[in-house]
Amino acid sequence: MKLIMKRILIFGGILAAFIALAVFNKLVSKTSTVSVFAEAQKGIFEISVTNSGELIAESSINIPGPSLGISSSQGGGRGGAPQGHDRGMDMRMMDFKILDIVPEGTMVKKGDYIAQLDRTSYDNTLKDEIENLKTLRANLEMRVLDTAVTLTNLRDEIKNQKYRVEEAAITLEQSKFEPPATIRQAEINLNKAERALEQLYKSYDLRVAQAKRQIDWQRIQMNRKERLVEDLEEFLSQFTIRAPADGMVTYRKDRRSGAKIKAGSSINAFDNIVATLPDLSKMISKMYVSEIDINKVRNDQKVEITIDAFPDKVFNGTVTSVANIGEQLPNSDAKMFEIIIRVDGYDPDLRPAMTTWNKIIIKTIADAVYIPLECVRTGTDSIPYVYKKNHTKQIVRLGDFNDKNIVVEEGLEMGTQIYIAMPEDADKFRLVGDNLIPAGRSEK
């Protein structure tokens, strides 16, 4: 009895295993069947061009660094100083190194601290120029003193010569009763004295003119140096950068390297923008499209925009600019064309540098019947057809397509199941749709 029961249990276990294996094979077969077929869909069919992009502000306010050659005094300076836009042109142009800058994305008010630039080089320049100015002032003072002494001596000589002329005139007056030779000698002495006096006057005038010119030249040099020192002092006061308006600080990219300008970076004296304050109410997305798709894109096309940071939000946009010339971007073999998309409306969550996914709507077809691209096949005659689940080889007339699906204008109805991969017994399928062959040939 026990032996019989044992045999029954063994047989039952084997039977259960066979049943489980059969169920498993059926399920696998069902799954495989489902994955082999696709179903013709009907609805709105979109043709679009998609790619990632980056949010940037359409406009922004630049936060400038120190300005060379500009003085706060816009009028003429002392001693005929040139106008403000000419002042400071004697400064040596040097790059500015950023010692400190507020974190990117910081919200600031007008006048708030933004950054501190390294002023070491210009501090040394200022010290040198102050020493040069002291030297020029000392030289000018010495020149004035030397001129005063020289002119005083000349005036004394003139005064003494006047006495000599007066003495010669008296001698001539007293010699009128003397012999003619004596009178003539007295006349000659008077003439010599008068000529000497005249020469002293001319020499004095020349010396005065010469001294004035030298002093004026040294004064011009000193005034110029004074203006340079003033400009340097004002210039150095600009090394603490403050916000020109309210906004959010955004780091600027270096034009040469493409890297963001931040603490430790240097900015060029002729391109002295430290950072920017973008206008967050008007945002655009910059994206690139391949040379294959660029002919499809036009201005004013509508765009659906999603943001990685807000996957549940969909924003609308419009194409506003399409580049005419392609660029060779890093890690890209094909030429890429820049597309600018204006984001419609305003959303406070949008920030510069956010990554976007842009879908440019090229064309929309209502009530279209469409199938996956991989379902369509063509023979040597280039006539398109599909394999239907009912074991027929259906000729179709095709329309527009996108990166996944293609429109079937004739030959299929919504819900028709078709093979994704070529069936093993494809040669046994019956050909239908002969009436579509002329249309198919005309599309080759």
Among the candidates 201, 230, 250, a domain finishes at 250
Same domain, 47 and 97: no
Q: Which residues pair with 408 in a beta bridge?
A: 398
Q: Which long-range contacts (CB under 8 A, 24 or more apart) does 150-158 make?
A: 150/207, 150/211, 151/204, 151/207, 151/208, 151/211, 154/200, 154/203, 154/204, 154/207, 155/204, 157/200, 158/197, 158/200, 158/201, 158/204
Same domain, 207 and 142: yes
Same domain, 79 and 136: yes
Same domain, 289 and 363: yes
Residues in the chain where the model's pLDDT stays below 70: 1-35, 68-93, 438-444
pLDDT tens per residue, range 182-208: 999 989 999 999 999 999 999 999 999
Domain annotation covers residue 18 = no
- Provide the residue count of the chain: 444
Same domain, 289 and 421: yes
Same domain, 109 and 224: yes
pLDDT tens per residue, range 316-333: 999 999 999 988 887 777
Domain holding 317, by residue range, is 35-59+279-444
DSSP H helical segments within 37-76, as ranges? none
**Both structure tokens of 23:** 């169920």
Domain annotation covers residue 6 = no
Which DSSP category does 252 fall into? Answer: P
Same domain, 376 and 230: no
Cα gap 324→339, rounded to integer Å: 10
Q: Is 236 left (phi over 0), alpha (psi -120 to 50) or beta?
A: alpha
Domain annotation covers residue 136 = yes
C-beta separation of 322 from 49 below 8 A: no
Q: Which residues fall within 8 angstroms of residue 82, CB to CB, at 6 or more apart?
A: 76
Domain annotation covers residue 16 = no
Same domain, 87 and 210: yes
Same domain, 89 and 225: yes
Q: Which residues fall within 8 angstroms of residue 120, CB to CB, at 6 or more apart?
A: none
Which DSSP category does 434 fall into? Answer: G
Q: 3-class DSSP state for residue 296?
A: helix
For residue 79, give the CATH number of its domain.
1.10.287
Domain annotation covers residue 67 = yes
Same domain, 191 and 330: no
Q: Domain count of the chain?
A: 2
pLDDT tens per residue, range 12-26: 555 455 455 554 455
pLDDT computed for residue 441 by the predictor: 55
Q: Which residues pair with 430 in a beta bridge?
A: 392
Cα gap 222→229, rounded to integer Å: 10
C-beta separation of 116 from 239 below 8 A: yes
Specify the pTM.
0.57
pLDDT computed for residue 125 by the predictor: 85
Among the candidates 212, 229, 250, a domain finishes at 250
Cα gap 58→64, rounded to integer Å: 19
Domain annotation covers residue 380 = yes
Domain annotation covers residue 27 = no
**Both structure tokens of 365:** 């077809």
Among the candidates 233, 250, 267, a domain finishes at 250
For residue 291, give the CATH number of its domain.
2.40.30.170
Cα gap 16→24, rounded to integer Å: 12
Closest alpha carbon to 91 in 252, 229, 239: 229
Q: 3-class DSSP state for residue 410?
A: strand
Domain annotation covers residue 255 = no
Count the neighbouring beta carbons within 10 Å of the beta carbon of residue 179. Answer: 9
Same domain, 76 and 40: no
Cβ burial of 114 (10 Å; 0-12, 13-18, 19+) is buried
Q: In sequence order, what E strands does 298-354 have?
A: 302-307, 310-322, 336-343
Same domain, 77 and 222: yes
